[in-house]
Amino acid sequence: MTILGISAYYHDSAAVLIEDGKIVAAIEEERFSRIKHDNGFPHKAIDFCLKSRDLEIKDVDYVAYYEKPLLKFERILENFIATFPLSLQPFLKGMPEWLDYKIKIESSIRRLGFKNKIFFVPHHYSHASACFLNSSFKESAILTIDGVGEWQTTGLWKANNNKITPLKRIDFPNSLGLLYSTFTAHMGFKVNEDEYKLMGLAAYGKPIYADKIRSIVDIKPDGSFRLNLKYFGFREGFRMYNNRFEKIFGKARSKKERIVRRHADLAASVQSVTEDIYFKTLNHLFELTGSSNLCLSGGVALNALANGKIYKKTPFKNVYIFGAAGDSGAAVGAALYVNNVIMKKRRNQPQNLYLGSKYDNNAIEDALLRYNLKFIKYDSERKLIDRAAGLLSKGKIIGWFQGGCEFGPRALGNRSILSKPNPKSMKKKMNIIKRREQFRPFAGSILQSEVHKYFEVPEKNHQSPFMTFCFKVKKDKSSTLASIVHKDGTCRIQTVNHDNGRYFNLIKKFFELTKIACVMNTSFNLKGEPIVETPDQAIEDFLKTRMDALVLGDYVVIK
C-alpha cells in the first residue's frame, strides 16, 4: 500500500511517501524552492517522492493531509467573531482564501491527477502518530504541543500498538507555542522560525521576569494554563503582542537593535515559564498513563533545552522525540495514521531521517567540472575518511555532503559543516562562515558509545540521533568541547552509530587521530537559506565562505 502524506499552507510544507508502512522518501518543499520554510503546495517535494520510487500519482492508494481544513476555518471564523471589530482588516484580507481553503487543498491534490481517497487527519493526531508510530515503543504516553493546529494546541495521549487514545487537550487561544512565539516577536526575531534563537539567548540571562510572565499566564498544578488575552495581539491578527504587553516587558526590540542584558533576561524568563508548564504537563501525563515511555511531537518539542531536563524533572525513563517534530513531520504522521490506525496495518521499525534527495558521483563530478574546481576523487571510503578526518584534526572547517538529505530541521551528518570542537575560537570562525549571531551555540555529533564520557546523559548508551536534547557537558570535557559548550554549560547533541555509516566512520577516525569522539556539526547553509540540496548549492556556499575544504560524495576539494 502506497500513501502520500502532505503538509502545506502554514509553514514547512512537505511530502512523504510510505510503502507498506515504511517511509521511503520525505522532504520539505523549501529544499527545492529555496524559500526558507516555504508554505506553498509542495509540488516539487511530491514530484521528488514519486520519482525516487519510479512511481506515478496513479500508483498512490491514498493521500493523507496533515489537518482538517474545515475545523481550521471554523477556528478562524469564531476567532473573528470574538475579536470583531479589531480583526476586521486582517480578516477581510485573508477571508477569500479561507472561504475555499478545503477546496483549494482538494483541487491542488486532484490537479496532480490523483483520483482515490484523500484522508484529512486532525493535526494533533498527525503529530501524535509521527512520534509514536515511528518509535520502538509498544505502548507509550504522548505529548503533542505546538502553536496551533485546527483548534488544539496541546494533546495528552496514551498509545498502544495501533491505537492512539486522546486523554486531555488544550485549545486555542491558550497555546504554549504562541506564548513562546510572542516573546520571539517581541525580541525582533521571526515567528515560527527564530524560536531557537530565543532558546539560545536564554543561557545568557536570568529569569527575573518569570513572575511577570506568570501574572499574565495562569498555570495550574496539572500544567493546564490560560493566557490573559488582554496582553496578546495574535487573535486580532496584527502583532503577537500589544501595548499592554510592552508596558510590562518593555518596548519590543527592533531587528537591528543590539541585544542587551534585558533581552537575555526576557529569553531566560520565557524559557523558564515554558519549562515549568512543560514539566507540570509531563508529570500529569505520567500520572494519567503510568507509562515510563514518552513520545513527544509538535513545534514546542524542538525545545532541546527543556527536553534535556525531562529525565530529571519527570519519572519518564525512555523518551522518543521525532526529529521532524514540527509541521513538516506531521505529513509523516498523517500518512502513518492512515496506514496503521485506519487501515490497521502492522507497524514498521523506527527509521532514520536520511529520506531526501541523493546525488551520485557522476552528478557530483559534473557539478565540480562546471565550477572549474580542482578535486581529488578517492576510490576507497577508507582513504576518503582518512583525508577528511585528517583535515578536521588539523582544525580545518569542511563542508560535508553525502547521501540522502535529512528530513526535518537538523543537519545530521549528510548536509553539514563540520569542524573540531575546540578551541573556543572555532565557534567564532564558524559563526562568521554561517553569517549568524555570535550568541548562538553549535551542536556536537558524538559516537554513541562515548556519549556518557562527555555529557551528563541519563544512561550509558543514551540515544539522541535527531539532535533533540541538550545535556550538560562534563566538567573535565569543557575545554575539549570548548567551541560547542554553551554559556549555561549545555550542548545540543547528536549521537551517531552505524545508521549513518560514513559519518560514523568519519567521527571514529577523528577520534583515533585526536582522542576526541565528537565533532562540531552545523547545517550546510548560510543565513537565510534552506539547507543545501544539490552539489551546486554546496559548491556555491563553499566558494562564498572561508570553509577550508569540501567533501562531496567521494570527492574532496581543498581551498
SS3 content of the chain, % helix, strand, coil (to 5): 40, 20, 40
Which of the 8 DSSP states describes residue 339?
Answer: I
> Between residues 298 and 421, which has the closer beta carbon with respect to Fe ion?
298
End-to-end CA distance of the chain: 48
Window 462-501: contact mask with Fe ion (x via CB under 5 A): ----------------------------------------
User: Whose Cβ is closer to Fe ion: residue 276's or residue 327's?
Assistant: 327
- Binding residues for Fe ion, total number by CB under 5 A: 2
User: Smallest gap, in angstroms, from Cβ of residue 227 to Fe ion?
Assistant: 18
Given the complex with Fe ion, which of 152 and 314 has the nearer CB atom? 152
Q: At closest approach, how far in Å is the CB of 144 from Fe ion?
A: 8
Strand (E) or helix (H) holding 27: strand 22-28
Query: What is the closest distance, in whole angstroms, from the C-beta atom of residue 299 to Fe ion in the complex?
Result: 6
Q: What does the DSSP assignment read for 231-269?
A: GB-TTTTS-SB-HHHHHHH-SPPPTTSPP-HHHHHHHHH
Query: CA 504, CA 315: separation in Å to the nearest integer?
Result: 32
Residues 171-190 that bind Fe ion (CB under 5 A): none
Q: For Fe ion, which is the closer residue by CB, 193 or 540?
A: 193
Q: CA separation (Å) from 237 to 78, 216, 255, 327, 532?
A: 13, 19, 20, 21, 33
Per CB under 5 A, contacts with Fe ion among 143-162 are 146
Shortest distance, CB of residue 325 to Fe ion, whole angstroms?
A: 9
Q: Which of residues 306-345 bind Fe ion (CB under 5 A)?
A: 327
For residues 188 and 257, is the Cβ–Cβ distance under 8 A? yes
Q: Binding of Fe ion at residue 195 (CB under 5 A)? A: no
Q: Which is nearer to Fe ion, 45 or 325 (CB)?
A: 325
**Smallest separation (angstroms) from Fe ion to the CB of 424:** 37
Site string for Fe ion, 206-245 (x = CB under 5 A): ----------------------------------------
Please list, in sequence order, all residues whose beta carbon lies within 8 angstroms of the beta carbon of residue 216, skipping any fewer than 6 positions away.
Answer: 227, 228, 230, 231, 245, 248
Sketch the per residue contact string, 127 through 146, with Fe ion: x for CB under 5 A, - otherwise: -------------------x
Of 38 and 146, the one with the shorter C-beta distance to Fe ion is 146
- With CA atoms as reference, report the closest residue to 203 among 356, 305, 113, 57: 305
Instruction: Tell me the closest approach of the beta carbon of residue 30 to Fe ion, in angstroms.
Output: 16
Decide whether 29 or 146 has the Cβ nearer to Fe ion: 146
**Alpha carbon distance 309, 293 (integer Å):** 15
Please give the Cα distance from 264 to 190 (Å, whole number): 16
Q: Which of 437, 442, 455, 439 is nearest to 527 (CA)?
A: 437
Query: 496532480: which residue's cell?
Result: 112
Nearest CA to 434 out of 559, 546, 535, 302 is that of 546
CB of 351 to Fe ion, least distance (A): 21
**Residue 92 Cβ vs Fe ion, minimum distance, rounded to whole Å:** 26
Cell numbers given for 75: 477556528
CA distance 326 to 331: 10
| Distance of alpha carbon 127 from alpha carbon 115, whole angstroms | 26
Report the residue count for the chain: 559
Output 265 or 327, the one with its CB closest to Fe ion: 327
CB of 110 to Fe ion, least distance (A): 25
CB closer to Fe ion, 159 vs 417: 159
Q: Residue number with the shortest CB distance to Fe ion?
A: 146
Nearest distance, CB of residue 380 and Fe ion, angstroms: 44
Nearer to Fe ion among residue 155 and residue 444 (C-beta): 155
Q: Which parts of this chain interact with Fe ion (CB under 5 A)?
A: 146, 327
